[in-house]
Amino acid sequence: MWERIREMIRKEFRQTLREPRMRGILIVPPLLQTIIFGFAVNLDVEHVRIGWLDDDRTAESRTLQHGFAANRTFELSREASSERVAQDMLDRGEVQAVVRVPPGFSRDLKSGRQAEVQVLLDGSNSNTAAIIGNYAASIIAARNRELLQDRQREKLVGRTQNGPVLLRLPAIEPDRRVWFNPELRSRNYFVPGVIVNIITLVTLMLTALSIVREKEIGTMEQIMVTPIRPIELMLGKTIPFALIGMFDMLLVTGIALLIFHVPLRGSFVLLGCASALFLLSTLGIGLFMSTISETQQQAMMGSFFFFQPAFMLSGFSFPIRNMPEPVQWVTYLNPLRYFMDIVRGVFLKGSGVDVLWPQMAMLGIMGVLILTFSAMRFHKRLD
Amino acid sequence: MQQRNGSTVQVRNLVKRFGSFVAVDDVSLDVSRGEIFGFLGPNGAGKSTTIRILCGLLAPTSGQALVYGFDVAKEPERVKQSIGYMSQRFSLYDDLTVEENIEFFSGVYGVPREKRAERKAYAMKMAGLEGEHDRMTRLLAGGWKQRLALGCAILHEPPIVFLDEPTSGVDPMARRQFWDLIYEMAEGGTTVFVTTHYMEEAEYCHRLALMYKGRTIALGTPAELKKQQGVGSTMDDVFIASIEREEARAQ
């Protein structure tokens, strides 16, 4: 039995490693994805271009403008002369937000009434818009506090016989960036997630494609007339890609640690074990795709048909708890979801088996079910 | 081993349907050891389907087929241990070398380790590829590729060999060489099943079945068939007359 499996594996590796294109597929996508998610994908908002529409034109409104200009989140693009111009700037994407100071701003401030500032946001990217809104609000709030302090000070500065006394008010500067640990945060969040992405893609696609390719060129028929057993054929066709998946996992982990200094707070062995459990599902699905496909294109389409939604619902970029409830139930059937939890837990929180065992158990159960189902469909007959 | 009535392949009332299409329609035949048995017929006549059933690749809809004494429907895996099969496409791995292909098939056929080297040398010699171990299979010309495919299909020395249009797309010279190999195998006691649509190849067979629309419309030695047709007839005449008779019968 092992003799035949070994022969299959050797053949698979020879074919895969000989072809420069295939060698490329093993290395380039993991590298590229890790680098993209490490460097380019940055959800922290910086260098937001804003327009300024000042209908008040007083010292107070200008002080507020300086407040925005001094903040490195914002870049004052230009002043709009009218609401129409401001609208136009937003429409053409010249700015992502316009701050409008309405007439009477200064008068309201001085009389102690509530003064309002309007922030017009480009909501086409709702996430960014919300963040910009928060930043803008925090700047306005800061200005507000200053004004309050001034007011308080005026009240507290009283005259004594020795002259004026200045009372110092305790000023508490809030940290406005509690939510957004700039740069590092999204990188730490995404780069470990790439492991899930790459393992899924590589094992799913390579398994499905390598089997279907043999159907296409006719060698599968040749193998089917040999005394090889279906289980041997299956193992021979999945073990090589399991090993390649593991190799890619190591590669991405290596880059994450060495180049991006993503912390690996938990156990590497645990990560390896979880990856192995996860592979059961992806290999099983790859096998299944090969049983329903006659051509490599079909296998490719089938794989993506699974991969795209599975990846969207894995929690990689969109938190599952924000999804509508029925969709959340669907994610419980998604092996990627559990593996994503494990990977992030191990990397960022240093979680151990005591915390992650439910996810690992689910991966094990799903893997065995999917593999068994696919294996039942995978036989040595043409019809 | 298990042979009944001296035949190594026994087919009784074999039927294969794909939906409403009848690919193999009530085929019966016996083939004895060392015989070269030919299936002649146009494309789509059911030759390949019959061979695939006999190889255990397709399950028959009804009827029975025993190959080397094993029922193809019930014991397809036992059948697979006793046969060699070469499909129309010379199914080798283009991206492996000659030697790697031989080693791979030796492995999956379960050729005992101590026999591997001998069988490898045999296959290389048979394909006329001695000293070409490291040649990429994709670079081989049709005739060599075809002989290598045959070599790979018989590494485990099967008593029965099924060849499905083994000579399609190969030049006449290579075709001739290939038939020499078939004769060699038959002399060694191997039963050879071969499908073809070349008339001149039909003459090389010991016995022939003419297949048309899933039925065997004539069965016998080439000499017998021609004699039935009339003195001076060629295989072409036999073939055409048989088809005409079948068409008339069907109406």
Query: pLDDT tens per residue, chain B (251 residues)?
Result: 444 445 689 999 999 999 999 999 999 999 999 999 999 988 889 999 999 999 999 999 999 999 999 999 999 888 998 999 998 887 899 999 999 999 999 999 989 999 999 999 999 998 989 888 899 999 998 889 999 999 999 999 999 999 999 888 788 888 899 999 999 999 999 999 999 888 888 889 999 999 999 999 999 999 999 888 887 888 888 888 988 998 898 88
Kindly determine whether residue B153 and residue A19, on different chains, have CB atoms separated by under 8 Å. Answer: no
Dist. CA A236–CA A249, nearest whole Å: 21
Helix or strand run (H / E) with residue B119: helix B113-127
SS3 A324: coil
d(CA A228, CA B104): 12
Q: Exposed, middle or buried by CB within 10 Å (0-12, 13-18, 19+), for A300?
A: middle
Please give the pLDDT value at position B24. Answer: 93
Please tell me the distance from the alpha carbon of residue B186 to that of residue B35, in angstroms, as a whole number: 6
Range 57-86 of B in CB contact (< 8 A) with A? 57-59, 76-77, 80-81, 83, 85
Please tell me the distance from the alpha carbon of residue A274 to that of residue B169, in angstroms, as a whole number: 51
Cβ neighbors of B116 (< 8 A, separation 6 or more) are: B103, B106
pLDDT of residue B167: 87
Distance (Å) of CA A308 to CA A249, A252, A300, A303, A334: 20, 20, 12, 9, 12
The C-alpha atoms of residue B70 and residue B4 are separated, in whole angstroms, by 11
Dump pLDDT digits (tens) for A35-67: 888 877 766 677 788 888 888 888 888 888 888
Q: Identify the pLDDT of residue A378.
A: 81
**CA of A6: which chain B residue's CA is closest?**
B107
Q: Are A203 and A286 in contact (CB under 8 A)?
A: yes
Per-residue pLDDT, B185: 93
B39: nearest Cα among B208, B216, B215, B234: B208
| CB B217 within 8 Å of CB B210 | yes
A234 touches chain B (CB under 8 A): no
pLDDT recorded at residue A265: 87
Nearest CA in chain B to A232: B108
Q: Which amino acid is at A47?
A: H
Q: Per-10-residue mean pLDDT for chain A, 383 residues long?
A: 89 88 82 83 74 86 84 81 85 85 82 78 77 80 77 62 52 41 64 90 91 91 89 91 93 90 90 95 94 92 93 88 90 94 89 92 95 85 71
For domain B7-250, which CATH number applies: 3.40.190.10, 3.30.56.10, 3.10.450.50, 3.40.50.300? 3.40.50.300
Distance CA B18, CA A383 (A): 9
Residue A111 CA to residue A114 CA, distance in Å, equals 9
Q: Which ipTM score applies to this complex?
A: 0.89
Structural domains of chain A in order of their starting residue, each with its CATH number: 2-41+183-377 (no CATH), 48-164 (3.40.1710.10)
A-contacting residues of B 96-155, CB under 8 Å?
A: 96, 100, 103-110, 153
Provide, as residue numbers in chain B, all residues whose Cβ is less than 8 Å from the Cβ of A3.
107, 110
Mean pLDDT score of chain A: 84
* Tokens representing residue A2 in the block: 């092992």
Q: Look at residues A5, A24, A28, A7 and name the one whose alpha carbon lies nearest to residue A16.
A: A24
Give me the residues paired with residue B65 across strands: B11
| pLDDT score recorded for residue A168 | 47
pLDDT of res. A142:
79
* Count of other CB atoms within 10 angstroms of residue A193: 24
Option in A19, A219, A381 nearest B58 (CB): A381
Instruction: In chain B, count H helices and then E strands.
Output: 9, 10
> Which residues of B are less than 8 Å from A209 in CB distance?
none
Q: Is there a contact between A190 and A43 (Cβ–Cβ < 8 Å)?
A: no
Residue B142, pLDDT score: 84
pLDDT at B6: 57
Q: What is the pLDDT of residue A159?
A: 54
